[in-house]
Amino acid sequence: MDEAKVGAFPARARADFMHEVANTPRGRGVLLCIQCGRCTNSCPVARTTDEYNPRKLVETVILGLRKEVLLGNLPRYCLSCFTCLDRCPQGGDIGEVMFAIRNLAAKEGNVPEGIIVQAKNLFETGRVVTPTRMALIQRERYGLSKDISIGIDEAQKILKKTSFVELISKKV
């Protein structure tokens, strides 16, 4: 964040935001962070764009700037290569923290269009990607059923029970 935003942060900062992230299943890494910057300095994305900087993003979480983090698009820049997990001297899993933030952002209704489409696919067909004609021919060759709609109702049951449907319908 730039200097002007730092100056304005106390009003919007949420001291408990760091723990909100840490208490999600994959967010424990924020508590270990000592801001050394090894994640940023090994990150292949950070080398190609100035916008994304994992250290800075974790710093924003620690500062408690909830809106900036959850309504922004930055955690989705992560390629999940987990180089940062290998390099982090504290054993903090920054790549996993990105997932934690994405999940929290989804709860706030911040889900990108493309993911909504995939999620809807999953709900309607039981698949993220619908099989192409080529894939169907291959299935037949391996002796698999041509009917790919088997078990959709069970999948839908699970998705309804895990509040998946609410998550994807928030924005729409």
Q: Residues interacting with other proteins, by CB under 8 A?
A: 32, 34-43, 46-47, 50, 53, 55-56, 83-84, 86-91
Among residues 1 and 136, whose Cβ is nearest to other proteins? Answer: 1
**Cα gap 139→73, rounded to integer Å:** 38
Backbone angles phi, psi at 139, to 5 degrees: -55, -45
Q: How far is the CB of 32 from other proteins (least distance, A)?
A: 7
Q: Which is nearer to other proteins, 1 or 128 (CB)?
A: 1
Residue 62: helix, strand or coil by DSSP?
Answer: helix
Considering the complex, state which of residue 21 and residue 84 has its C-beta at the smaller distance from other proteins. Answer: 84
Report d(CA 136, CA 172) in Å as an integer.
Answer: 31
State the nearest-atom distance from the C-beta of 13 to other proteins, in Å: 19
User: Closer CB to other proteins, residue 73 or residue 90?
Assistant: 90
How far apart are alpha carbons 111 and 114 in whole angstroms? 8
- Cβ 113 to other proteins, closest distance in Å? 28
Quote the crossing angle between the two packed helices 152-161 and 113-125, to the nearest 10°: 130
